[in-house]
Structure 1
Amino acid sequence: MPQTEAHEAYEEPRSARLVAWGNAWFAGHASPDDTADAVRGDDESHVVRGLPGADGVGLTLALGRLRTMGATGLRLALPAPGHPLGLTGPAEFNGRAMETGEAVLAVGAPWGLVPEALWHGADHADDGVLAVTWHALPVNPGFPADVPALRDAERELMEGMREATEALVRLDVAGAGPEVQRALARLRSRSSEPDDLLAPGYPPRAVRVLQSARRVSALVALASVTEGAAVSASEMAQRAGALRPLERTARKARVAAYNAAVDEPR
C-alpha cells in the first residue's frame, strides 16, 4: 500500500467531522453554515432521518432540534468487532454503528446518529453523486464504553508507539520499503500532520493526540499489508500481535481527542 493510500485509509470519518464541528457550533465557535459545510465536505448532500420533529432535514436543522431536546454537545464512537468503543447501547444502535464502524452520540439527549453513504450514478468517479443519510436512533444514557481521559489516551498512545515500534523494527518491517520507513519516521515528527484537524475551540492537547493517533493508524495500515522480512508464520503472528493493541490504542486516542470538547475540564 503506497504511503498516500495509507493516509487516505485513515482520513477522519464523517462522524468525526460532525462531532468536531458540531461541538464548535454548540459552543458558539462556528456558525451553522460553516458547520454544515465542514461536515459535508465533498459530499453532495447530508440528510438526517428518524429524528423526532426533524425527519428528513439537513444537518443545521437537525443540530438545532437536538439542542431543543437537551443536547449540549456530541461524542464520537469508533467501534470495531469485539470492541464497542464509544457506544452505550441499546443493541439496535450498537449493531448499526458496529456495521458502519462509526457513530455520533448526543450529550444530554438520548439520541445517536449513524451515517450511511450511497453513490448514485453509473461512474462513481465522474458522474456519481454521494448522498449521506444520518440515521437517528435512541441510545442509552451514560458514559461511553472504554473511552479514556485525554491525558491517559496520550500516555497510552506514547507507550504503545514505543513498544510497537521496537517490535516492528525487530521484525524488520522497515525493510519492506521506503513507505514504511517514512511512516516510522512520522511517529517521531509532528510536522507531517496539519494543526487544523479539529474545529475551533478544541484544546491543543486534543490536536496533538489526534495528530499522533493518525500517524500511528497510517503505520498500522502500511505494516499490515507489507511483507518485509517477516515471512514465517510465527513472525507474521508476532507482527499481528504487535499491531493489534496499537490499532486499538490509536482508535481510543482518536475518540478521546474528539470527545475532549465535552469531556475535558475547561
Structure 2
Amino acid sequence: MSQTSTTPLLKATGIKVAYGGILAVKRVSFEVRPGELVSLIGANGAGKTTTLKAITGLQPLADGEIALMGKTTRGQGAWDLVKQGLVMVPEGRGTFTRMTIVENLQMGAFLRNDPRGVQDDIEKVFGLFPRLKERRHQLAGTMSGGEQQMLAMGRALMARPRLLLLDEPSMGLSPIMVDKIFEVVADIHRQGTAILLVEQNAMRALSLADRAYVMDSGEITMSGPAKALAEDPKVKAAYLGE
C-alpha cells in the first residue's frame, strides 16, 4: 500500500444527488487520501458516474458536502477544481475529435503557463503511450477506442493532477488494450498521484486499489481494504462472478 497522509485529499460527507425527483446518490460518504488508489465498484446504474460528476462540479449536490484538501468545493466550477489538481477522464473519453493528438494534449495543459514544462510533459505522455507518439499528428477522431482512451488519460495528466478521477477506463476495449490501460493506471499510482477509479471490471479494479467502496442503488453498502473486499463472499458473488 502507498504511504498516505491522514488528511483526506478528497472527502465526501453525506452527499445526495438528484435528477429531477429521482435521488441517484443517497447520503454517500467516502474519502481519498494523498497517494491512494481508491476504487468505487458496483453494477450499472449504481450511481458511480453521478458521484464523479458531483465531485467535479458537473452535477449539483442536493445535500451534503465535498471537500478538496480540506476546503469545500461548493460554488466552484470544474475549471476551478482543475486548477487545484482535481482532473477527470470521463466515461466515453471525450477527446477533441477534430484536433490532433498533440493539440489534445496541449488542451490538457490549457491552464498552465510553462511552455517548456508542457513540452516536457507531452514527452512523458509519449513515454507512457508510445503509440500516441507514432501518430502525434493524427486527428483524434480517426483513432481506435483504445487509442482515444490513451489520449484522454494523457490529456488529463497534462494538467498535473493531484487527484485523477477515472470513469470506466476499460469500457469497450479489447483485452490487450485493457491490460495496457491498467498497467498505466498502476504506473501513475506508483509515481504518487492519487486516483479514484470507477470501473466495471471489479476484479481488476480491486487488484490495483489500496481501498474500495461498493456502491448499490445510490448507496455505499461495503468498504474496506481492496484485498479484503476481493475475498469477501458477497462481493465475489455480486461482482466477480463467483
Please give the TM-score of this superposition, normalised by the length of structure 1: 0.25
Q: Structure with the greater relative contact order (CA < 8 A, sep ≥ 6): 1 or 2?
A: 2
- Which protein is richer in strand relative to its size? 2
Please give the TM-score of this superposition, normalised by the length of structure 2: 0.27
